[in-house]
Structure 1
Amino acid sequence: MDNMNSVSIAIAWCLAWGNERQPQFDISVLQQMREALNHENNEREVPKKVSSLVDAVRELEKLDKPENFPKTLDSLRELTEKHCILWKSKIGLVYGGATKIKQYVFEESKLPDIRGASGLLDRINLIDLPAFFNVIPKSDRHNYTIQCGQTKKWLNASFPNEPNLTDALIPELIIYSTGGNILAFCPAAFVDDLANAIEKRYTEETLTANSCAVGETFRVIETRLGLLQDNIAETFWLEKYQKEYQNTIIEAYFGKIDDLSKIENTFKKHKSFNELTTKLVIRFNQRRSGNESENRPTRRYPAMFETHPYLRRDETGKRSAIAHINELTGQPYLSETLIRKRRVGDRAKTGISETPEWYKYYQDTGLKWEAGIIDSWLDKFEDFLVQNSEQYQAYYGNNHNQKKEIKIPQSLTQLSRVSNGYVAYIYADGNNMSGFIQNIRTPEEYQQFSQDIENATKYAVYQALAYNLQPRKIKGISEPQSKIKDGDLVHPFEIITIGGDDILLIVPADKALQIAKMIGEQFENILLDEVPISGVEIKGEYKVQEKLLHPNKFHRFSKTIPEHYQCQLSMSTGVLITAYNTPIYYAEELVTQLLKSAKKYAKILKYTDFLTNKQISYYGGTVDFFTMKSVTMISSSIGELRKQTLTFDKLKLYAAPYTLPELDKFLISLQALQKAEFPKSQLYQIRSFLERGRRTASLNYYYFRNRLNKGQDTLKANFEDTWCTAKTNKGNIAPWMWNLEEEIYETIWREMVDLFHLIKFSDIKSQQASQQEINP
């Protein structure tokens, strides 16, 4: 007998368990079945008691083949009668995770608390919830056996019915547990308990983070054929869809059909496992909004901690403080929620650290909570470097011997001391994810897709950091309680979160755009399997089938780029470059605005091929960035600022957002401007003339450019000839470019001037890990 994949083993387990809480066979029989199906050499036999159920799962797998899909209602009825086990047996499906994540993570402005909040959510999603299913993470760095055992003990104590949840759950039931969410099968009778356990775990560990979980039972055959009616004759099937596909209600559910040849494929895409997950997502949104769930406690009333007007509040001002920590920088007042964040943030620095004295004191007074093992993002990044020698050398270089001495910045102030007092927030999110998921038909494809996206996102970040950053020396530290002193080497970045297709980083301002560009490029390259990563295999097919024949139609520069295949999925990114003292909650709000702007730009990049009358879409990544040199620079939103102060009649004094190829050319232009050694006064004078009109700005630009002592040819080739060629003749209109779509002149000059003294360049192919000493 051939080995089963994990999803089929999960379905076989639920079939063998049955629809009731008590298993229909002894648990030892189920374990023997699981071991036999998992065994690599097929040397173990499936127990005869459950062999018929395993055969039924084999028949279920055959429905994945297009030719076996029932095309008529009669063939569907015959299928349910032939495989009555698949029709009568139920299986549970649970979906849940954290909600309002940024509200919890950015509740406090200090970097250790933000790091701790993110680390605690990651621990719950990646360690605790899989431990429900008897998963013990494999790690060369940590041993999770005791911690996962404690989690299972908590689960069984919280839901003490017999048999226990941990008896009913096995690792194969998990479809995915990444990106802050979990999707998993379970025996039908345990759906509500498992959903309740997910919500309870988040609440008990974080106290204040929001979470939501929902579950539903489905017929086993529905995991392949979508939702079916109890009376199979009443099921809306392909025959009826072919007659009523133009009905407005039908169109709202299945989508509009323009090509009649696509009717059958459209129906098959919807009548699949995807229809089950869609139902769960709808129920998830309803429960998150406060609606009642049958047989489950309400989550309408989130956790609240009362305060008193005469009691000291914590750093957030929302809860009563229970601790005054004199040993920490700033001598903060902390509530229990913040104590947990601070403890996890402290442990995230090294994975396992000695319990600090201040925490021991509060443990002695009754605070019994412990953080457990926290596998920090820096640990994971270093594991990646160890496995990939080229990236290891690019990042550490000559600092290899000092590796153990490299420290982690404890505040944005310290992080800014390696980049002239400026930091950059990078917030990236995937494009076209929901559209791609709509074409996923089976649980196996969901599992594969989730793993591929996790790998592409994670390793794109790691590569961008490795190639663009190196440990740096810090200078200008004046905090007496800080463990970091002048001259110490530090890792010059902070990974707030990498979850699913979401990325949030804080990096030095001088490398922000290079990092953002490489993340977007590598995300696509990894999914297209063009970048080999040690130990990683991309299993899905993400290439757009037709080659992009006219790529320059999507980009505003005049340099020709070759025809190429696109990736169906990409990253849009917002980058905010700002002073270190910008309130972090404010910076997060602004970088979110930039991300939305970049995603909006990606959606409108289309053109119509007049030869085929076919609309061609741009699938690549986009980046929007903004440089904010003072906190009071923006009173409302970045969009309003650009509209009111940077847009005039037929003139737009900025060009963002950019496609990734445009950002590459922008950086080349900026580097050429730096090499030309434009006098600072002239740079800003040309910028000030932009709003006086197109001709005035052009006249001043050409006047000052012709007076340069060096770099004229480079600037002409990489700025004027790249961006500023006229559309109706062979001349240049520098520093402007004509936007045909908007019928407006726009310029990259203002953005280049804003970044002129902030962005630094180095050849990533030959960069050496020099110890940079940068004054604050």
Structure 2
Amino acid sequence: MTNSGKSITIAIAWCLAWGEQRQPQFELPVLQQMQQAMQEGKEVPEAVRYLVEQVQQLQAIPKNDFPEQITGLKEKYPDLWQQTTRIGLVYGGATKIKQYVFEAAKLPDIRGASAILDRINLVDIPAFFGEPQKSPRISRWLNKNFPHLEAALIKELLIYYKGGNILAFCPAAFVDDLANAIEKRYTQETLTANSCAVGSTFKLLELRYGLLKDSIEDTPWLEWYHQNHQNPLVKAYFDQPDVDDLSKAFQNRKSFNELAGKLAALFNQRRNGNDVQDGRPTRRYPPMFETHPYLRRDESDRRAAIAPAKRLPGEPWFSDALARKRIVGQRSKGESEQGQKWWTDKNSAWRWQIGQIKQIWNSGKLKSWVVKFKDFLKETNLHNRYYRNVSEQKPDQTVKEARSLREIANASTPKGFVGYIYADGNNMGGYIQKEIKTPEDYQQFSEDIFEATENSVYEALAQHLKPHKLNNLNDADNQHRNETWIHPFEIITIGGDDVLLIVPADKALAIAKTIGEEFEKQLLKPEKQCRYAADKDYKPKLVHRYQAQQVSGSNQCKLSMSTGVLITAEDTPIYYAEKLTTQLLKSAKKRAKELKKEGYCGGTVDFLVMKSVTMISSNIGEFRSQGLMKAGTGQQKLKLYAAPYTLHELGGLLETAKVLKEVNFPRSQLYQIRSFLEQGKNTAILNYRYFRTRLQDKKHQHQLKEQFEEAWCAAKTNNGNLAPWMTLKEEADTTTYETIWRELVDLYPFTEEPKTPSTVQQAVIGSK
């Protein structure tokens, strides 16, 4: 039995042995002996042996064991059929996370908000269950607010928690207590973050065969489904894409996944303010902190300020909620004790858990993302490569964490620009519906996705970034940081399959591409390939517009990542940048869904280079449809952009941008050709060819022809090309043409200069 299987077996046996009352039906030492014996593979106490045998029988049922008649369950598993003790299942977590994290305008406060949520997700709530060990701080809190709950919880009850949400078993009598404790912990620690938790109880057989009626024999089964599968409600509930066999569709639905689906529906109802269970406090009235119009507000201009932070520059006024974010943000970045004096000052109005914050970080229970990144470097032997330009003897101690967007932008070429990267998994819901059948599957899936996401981010950062020494910082709040080595990135969050980070602008697209590729590579490792390898190929020529390099259509991963990337100035408001990056992510995911029809399961990336905040007044979709779509001559449409891209296409775009640098294509002509795009297809083609033939070096002409014209712009009906255009689609009377030229021009300033001088430069040097 795997560790995951053993853990779930112990959890179910614990719930059955506890019973449905608040006091266990057996003495607590007996339950603890059972837990220890099952952990060590020894014989369990005789009093609970029959219950453990029932759980083991349930766990031994093969996944393909599905009777034609519901009464077949009674015949094959009479003990499980007659087991009436119900088992609790609770699901919950934070909601409207972006609203809480990005309500503040400054990076230290955003960083602190994310760190507070991470602390609750990864430390506090697991400590309810004693994971990894009992916490005196959490024990005191639970005993004060929810007496007897701690004794009913053990670490094996946790199914998953690392993705930002929690799914856990618990004894039936404590379902409401555990759900209330989860919500209360978020509210008490953050004051303003929204959270939601729900729970229900289920029969033992339901953990394997999905929702059953109180009288199991009354449950609609296969025969009923075959008779009613055309009913719209039944069809909406059971139908799945790519599954035509009715029996298979029914079996896919009737599993543990159906229980999780019920909890998800309850979660949405409660989150929306509905009362879904009797006896629980309502969420209809979330916390509100009103302020009188003539009272002082905090920096976010949302709540009444309590007092100024006298030891911080400018003595900003904080509300309690904002002050918590700032102090946790400072602590997570390892700022000096002197910088945190504003919080511990005897005259300070703040009375929150500074001692507990220190204890958590010093104990190593909660590490910052940079500390985890440094651990990754050591574990993967990338330490020396990453620190290759740092001359100090202990670079991992010398290199500090970046404290502001200005410091990250200082590492970009050109300086002053950053890249926001927001990545999210594709095909997750469909995979869960088809492949996740048991609690063990949920647990394994959660671990695999979190590990793949986290490692892909660290691998991309290690591959494309290196420590940067700050220079030419002139602001009063960071001038003293000149000559300091920093890690030039900021990880806002890594949660499940979500990634949000800020990096230097010139490396943003390369990092986004590597994250997508590494995510799939991590899931296709030999030990995981059987679970995540796709069972069908695709035709690369029908999917990828970049044809310079061959790419295989086989060995696909069922899961992938879509990413939105915004390259913008360092002074762009973070809340505004986050909204645009979210729009880009949605555009990339839409493209991924379209390409899935062609059999492509891989990642996609959409990006935008925004030189000024006033560039987009509404949203990216309207900006593109109204400003970058033109009517050409005759029955033609001109699309002046080509995003989103597949990962393969993005690699080709970056290579093509490098070629423009290498051939020393005059920048004035780059912009001139871009202006000609709006004047029509033929005008742009003529001018591009004119400028290309004016390149003095024939080798550069050939290089541009090979890497741009033939790679991107080959005609579909003959051997010519349409450079700088590509044929997007042909409809009845209309042909649409698109071009990557605009994106190439946008990327040109952020493209690395060639390592060897161009021929033109060498000729100039030689003439001197």
TM over 0.5: yes
Question: Paired residue for 2:591?
Answer: 601
The equivalences for 1:275-354 within 5 A come to 275-292=258-275, 293-350=277-334
Task: From 54, 60, 78, give the equivalent of 1:56.
Answer: 54
Q: Is the 8 A contact 2:320 2:350 kept in 1?
A: no
2:749 alignment partner in structure 1: 757
Distance verdict in 2 for CA 1:540–1:315, change over 3 Å: farther
Structure 1 residue aligned with 2:740, among 720, 744, 748?
Answer: 748
User: Is 1:73 equivalent to 2:70 in the alignment?
Assistant: yes
Q: Does structure 2 retain, via aligned residues, the 8 Å contact 1:409–1:484?
A: no
For each residue in 1:446-485, what CA deviation from the matched residue of structure 2 results, as whole angstroms up to 9, or x when unmatched? 0000000001110000000000000112222123343752
Partner of 2:764: none
Instruction: Find the counterpart in structure 2 of residue 648 from structure 1.
Output: 630
| Aligned 8 A contact 1:179 1:500 in 2 | yes
Closer/same/farther in 2, CA of residues 367 and 13 from structure 1, 3 Å limit: same
The partner residue of 1:462 within 437, 458, 463 is 458
Partner in structure 2 of residue 767 of structure 1: none
1: CA distance, partners of 2:679 / 2:654: 26
Does structure 2 retain, via aligned residues, the 8 Å contact 1:517–1:663? Answer: yes
Query: SS where residue 303 of structure 1 aligns?
Result: coil
How far does residue 258 in structure 1 lie from its aligned partner after superposition? 8.2
State the Cα deviation string for residues 330-367 of structure 1 (Å, max 9, x = none). Answer: 43211111111011101111399678211112686561
Q: Name the CA shift for 1:709/1:331 in 2 (closer, same or farther; >3 Å).
A: farther
SS at structure 1 position matched to 2:161? strand
**Quick check: 1:206 aligned with 2:190?**
yes
Asked if the contact 1:570/1:619 (under 8 Å) is kept, the reply is yes
- 2:146 corresponds, among 127, 136, 159, to 159
- Counterpart residue number, 2:45: 47
Q: In the alignment, is residue 369 of structure 1 matched against residue 349 of structure 2?
A: no
User: In the aligned structure 1, how far is the partner of 2:279 from the partner of 2:528?
Assistant: 41
Task: Choose the corresponding residue for 2:373, options 376, 381, 388.
Answer: 381
Pairwise CA distance, 1:299 = 1.0
Residues 23 and 363 of structure 1, relative CA distance in 2, 3 Å threshold:
farther
Instruction: Give 1:423's aligned amino acid.
Output: V
Q: Do the aligned partners of 1:407 and 1:484 also contact (CA within 8 Å) in 2?
A: no
Letter in 2 for 1:585: Y
Q: Give the corresponding residue for 1:263.
A: 246
Q: Distance in 2 between matches of 1:240 and 1:120?
A: 49
1:520 is aligned to 516
Q: Indicate yes or no: 2:719 matched with 1:730.
A: yes
CA–CA distance in structure 2, aligned partners of residues 81 and 54 of structure 1: 15
CA separation in 1, counterparts of 2:2 and 2:588?
47
Separation in structure 2 between the aligned mates of residue 540 and residue 183 of structure 1, nearest angstrom:
25
User: How many angstroms apart in 2 are the aligned matches of 1:187 and 1:392?
Assistant: 46
Counterpart secondary structure, 1:93: strand
- CA separation in 1, counterparts of 2:706 and 2:684? 19
User: How far 1:741 moved relative to its partner?
Assistant: 5.7
Query: Following superposition of structure 1 onto structure 2, how do residues 134-213 of structure 1 map, counting pairs within 5 Å?
Result: 134-136=130-132, 148-160=135-147, 164-213=148-197
CA distance in structure 1 between the aligned counterparts of 2:132 and 2:336, rounded to whole angstroms: 17
Contact 1:473 1:490 in 2 (8 A): yes
Asked whether the equivalents of residues 274 and 438 of structure 1 are also in contact (C-alpha less than 8 Å), the reply is yes
Is contact 1:422-1:509 (8 Å) kept?
A: yes
The alpha-carbon distance between structure 1 residues 329 and 741, as it changes in their structure 2 partners (threshold 3 A), is farther
* Structure 2 counterpart SS, 1:617: coil
Cα RMSD over matched residues? 2.1
Q: Paired residue for 1:681?
A: 668
CA distance in 1, matches of 2:347, 2:487: 32
Query: Structure 1, unaligned stretches of length 5 or more?
Result: 138-144, 531-536, 608-615, 764-776
* CA distance in 2 between partners of 1:185 and 1:452 (Å): 20
The separation in 2 between residues aligned to 1:102 and 1:2, in whole angstroms, is 37
Q: Aligned-pair distance for 1:546?
A: 2.6
In structure 1, C-alpha distance between the alignment counterparts of 2:429 and 2:283, rounded to whole Å: 27
- Corresponding residue for 2:402? 409
Uncovered stretches (5+) of structure 2, i.e. residues with no partner: 632-636, 756-768
Shift in Å at residue 539 of structure 1? 7.8
Corresponding residue of 1:5: 6
| Alignment check: 8 A CA contact 2:407 2:488 kept | no
2:703 pairs with one of 709, 714, 717: 714
Deviations 1:59-86 (A, max 9, x none): 111223413x33212213335643355x
Residue aligned with 1:331, SS = coil
Taking the aligned partners of 1:563 and 1:368, their CA distance within structure 2 comes to: 56
For 2:339 and 2:664, locate their aligned partners in 1 and report how far apart those are by CA, in whole Å.
Answer: 53
Paired with 2:102 and 2:404, the residues of 1 have a C-alpha distance of 14
Q: CA deviation at 1:151?
A: 1.3
Please state how far the C-alpha of 1:715 moved relative to its aligned partner.
1.4
Instruction: Work out whether residues 511 and 760 of structure 1, in 8 Å CA contact, stay in contact via their aligned partners in 2.
Output: no
Over residues 628-663 of structure 1, what are the superposed CA-to-partner deviations in whole Å (9 max), with x where a residue is unaligned? 000000010111111111111211110000011110
- Any idea what SS the aligned residue of 2:87 has? strand
Q: Is the 8 A contact 1:524 1:569 kept in 2?
A: yes
Q: Which secondary structure does the structure 2 equivalent of 1:756 belong to? A: helix
Query: For each residue in 1:177-223, what CA deviation from the matched residue of structure 2 results, as whole angstroms up to 9, or x when unmatched?
Result: 02210000000000000000000000000010000000001112111
CA–CA distance in 1 between the matches of 2:501 and 2:179?
31
Partner of 1:657: 644
Match of 1:499 among 489, 492, 495: 495
Q: So what's the TM-score if we normalise by structure 2?
A: 0.92
Flag the 1:762–1:299 CA change in 2: closer, same or farther, 3 A: farther
Per-residue Cα deviation, 1:263-286 (whole angstroms, up to 9, x for no partner): 222111111101100000000000
DSSP 3-state at the match of 2:503:
strand
Indicate the SS of the match to 1:312: coil
Query: What amino acid does structure 2 have at the position aligned with 1:158?
Result: N
Aligned position for 2:758: none
Equivalent residue number for residue 82 of structure 1: 79
Deviates more, 1:315-324 or 1:552-561: 552-561
Structure 1 residue identity aligned to 2:131:
V
Of residues 92, 96, 106, the one that matches 2:92 is: 96
One-letter amino acid matched to 1:597:
S
Distance in 2 between residues matched to 1:169 and 1:540, nearest whole Å:
34
2:727–2:736 contact (8 Å) kept in structure 1: yes
Instruction: Determine the structure 2 residue equivalent to 1:546.
Output: 536
* Deviation (angstroms), 1:760: 2.6
The offset of 1:409, in angstroms, is 2.2
Following the alignment from structure 1 to structure 2, what is the Cα–Cα distance between the partners of residues 414 and 744? 43
Q: Separation in 2 of the partners of 1:663 and 1:36?
A: 54
- Structure 2 Cα separation of the partners of residues 597 and 582 of structure 1: 21
Alignment of 1:92-131 (within 5 A): 92-131=88-127
Identify the match of residue 614 of structure 2 among 632, 637, 648: 632
Give 3-state SS (helix, strand or coil) of 1:438's partner: helix
**Equivalent AA in structure 2 for residue 568 of structure 1:** K
Residues 547 and 712 in structure 2, CA contact (< 8 A), matched pair in contact too: yes
* Inter-CA distance 285–352: structure 2 relative to 1 (3 Å threshold): farther
Give the SS at the match of 2:459.
helix
User: Whole-Å Cα distance in 2 between the matches of residues 728 and 205 of structure 1?
Assistant: 64
2:15–2:170 contact (8 Å) kept in structure 1: yes
Name the amino acid aligned to 2:153.
L
Change over 3 Å in CA distance of 1:330–1:443 after alignment to 2: same
Q: 1:33: which partner in 2? A: 34
Structure 2 CA distance for partners of 1:28 and 1:354, relative to 1, 3 Å: farther
- CA contact under 8 A between 1:199 and 1:212: conserved in structure 2? yes
Within the candidate set 539, 562, 568, 1:572 is matched to 562
Deviation for aligned residue 1:540:
6.2
- For residues 289 and 60 of structure 2, what CA distance do their matches in structure 1 show? 54
Q: Secondary structure at the match of 1:651?
A: strand
Distance in structure 2 (CA, Å) of the matches to 1:329 and 1:754:
37
CA distance in 1, matches of 2:325, 2:89: 32
Partner of 2:343: 359
Q: Alignment partner of 1:605: what SS?
A: helix
The DSSP-based 3-state class of the residue aligned with 1:367 is coil
1:557 CA drift (Å)? 2.2
